[in-house]
Structure 1
Amino acid sequence: MPEENIIVSIGGSVERAVKGEYSIDVKAILTEAWQQTLQSRMSINIALILVSVFGMVVSFISSSFFGGIELVINDPELLQLINVIVTIAVWPFMAGIEMMGVFHAVKKPTRSKMIFSFLHRGSWVALCALLTSLLIGIGFQFYIIPGIFLAVLLSLTIPLVVEKRLTPVQAIVLSVKALRFKIVSLLAIYLVLFLTLIALTFPIALLIESSFAPLAVMLFLFGLSYLAPWYYNIKGVLYREIFGVFMEQKNVENGLSHAANTDSDQNGSDDTFSA
């Protein structure tokens, strides 16, 4: 029989997510993401280096246009404007790194060039990044706790824009609706990541004024080469467990109905704003 490509959803689903019908095993998610990191951290690390260099170039050029880096640093309004410019420029490429974690969660290999794979959603991604940054910033203005909660609740918006093809507002609303049910477990996961980052900075803090400072920096960068991919792989596993991931699979059985349609058909979002 001829092979037939079908689209299936792996993991959770949007319908169950908004009802809170999913579970988060903190230890299992951290462990699975760590195993993925040990196997596939290089693609994410190389991609992060490329995007970071690009972001620094954009920042330097933008600062030069406004009078130089020193002038920008001393002017809060200019600094905020540069941050907006860098966000718009960088996040269409960062979406590829976010999706690397999602791909790893469904056992699909990735390559660093994935940072170019989702530029067709670039304008939506940039707008979503700006909106989430604005909301999180407002949250931190009302003491720290609201900002932390918003940062967690909005942590999966970019994959929703890319993989589920939602608009930024749809992604933000859906993310808040779904993640609010497991906020304690999510906070525990991100707390582990934060504490790991703090632990990595200890050698630098202790040895910064000694002759061992270069060694401390090297240890920090080495640890970061594991922590950064772990962070994105954790987000990928969380996304799979909460919202599910659509994948094409081959099927040779005749008459098998499609278990799922592409999400662009389901949510009917208008994609005319895509880059």
Structure 2
Amino acid sequence: MQTNNDEQQQMIIGGNLTDALRGQYALNLGEIFRYTLAATRSHWVSLFLGFLAFLGILLVLTLVAFSVLPEQWVDQVVPQQAGQPVSQNALMILSLIGSAVGAPFWGGLILMGIRHSVDIPTKAADIFDGFSRAGPLIATLLATSIITQLGLILTGQLHWGLSVLAQIYFSVVFAYALPLVVERGITPLNAIYYSLRIVHYKLPQFILLLFVVTGLVILSSFMFFLPLIFVVPLIFNLVGVVYKETVGVTIKLDKPQPQGDDDSPWTA
């Protein structure tokens, strides 16, 4: 346990970033899912309400953007005829815009999952906590989105199957980038590099986790997406638990706590 100049106690629960960068970590998927289910049962409400708020804000911003942007810009991303596919350039534009707008909110949702991994309660308004790192989060998500889109375009020119494999690969290798930025304050380029290193040591396990998450979403679609009420919080909590188990979560004691007070003084 470490104490800083403000007499604020700090400690790291879970893994260790230095060890993770050397591949010295274990992914016990059974334990991870057990911890994730426990965290989700205790903390699913705030995450789901936060996610709904994020979708509502995103919808409002989208409508505002389409109403104020020049018509020729809107025509580039919205098909003018029914059944007309969206162009590759339009998909990239939409991806980049979505990354820039959504990055702070994704950071807030991920941070909530990380806090739940160490049983720290949250509230729906915590989706705005990512705005304290808005610039680095936007830069990180823009960089990973550009790399992913370029990779998909290049592999798609060779074979559609390679494009599918590339999508799977990029979906897992950047998994730690946003969490490292929002929880540790690591710079975007370092966070992307660290994520690549950490994931490559256990790439098959991370791909399996991706398949499980994708399977849960697909199963939810067959039940009118109602299970997403629980599945969405579970996904963010899964990110938090995996993050805690590999690189650890830094928590701090904000102020002295009277003995016998049931409110947890620890924050992440």
The verdict on a shared fold, with TM-score over 0.5 as the criterion, is: yes
Q: Secondary structure at the match of 2:149?
A: helix
8 Å Cα contact 1:140/1:148 also seen in 2: no
Q: Which runs of 5+ in 2 are unaligned?
A: 1-6, 80-85, 156-161, 258-268
Structure 1 length-normalised TM: 0.78
How do 1:166-177 residues align onto structure 2 when only pairs under 5 Å count?
A: 166-177=186-197
Paired residue type of 1:55: L
Q: CA contact under 8 A between 2:21 and 2:198: conserved in structure 1?
A: yes
Alignment of 1:1-275 (within 5 A): 5-64=8-67, 65-67=69-71, 72-74=77-79, 76=87, 77-78=89-90, 80-141=92-153, 142=155, 143=162, 144-203=164-223, 217=224, 220=225, 222-249=226-253
- Between Structure 1 and Structure 2, how many residues are aligned? 234
After superposition, the Cα gap between the structure-2 partners of 1:106 and 1:58, relative to the gap in structure 1 and judged at 3 Å, is: same
Identity %: 25
The one-letter amino acid paired with 2:118 is V
The residue type paired with residue 11 of structure 1 is: G
1:88-118 CA-partner distances (Å, limit 9, x unpaired):
1221122110101100011111111111223
Q: Call closer, same or farther: CA 1:125–1:66 in 2, change over 3 Å.
A: same
Q: Which protein has greater RCO, CA pairs closer than 8 Å, 6+ apart? A: 1
Residue 81 of structure 1: CA displacement? 2.9
Name structure 1 gaps, 5 residues minimum: 204-216, 253-275
Provide the C-alpha distance between the structure 2 equivalents of 1:72 and 1:251, rounded to a whole number of angstroms.
54
- Give the Cα separation in 1 of the matches to 2:91 and 2:149: 15
Equivalents in 2 of 1:146, 1:82: separation in Å?
A: 19
Q: Aligned to 1:192, what secondary structure does the other structure show?
A: helix
Q: How far has the Cα of 1:159 moved from its partner?
A: 1.2
Runs of 4 or more above 4 Å deviation? 68-71, 249-252
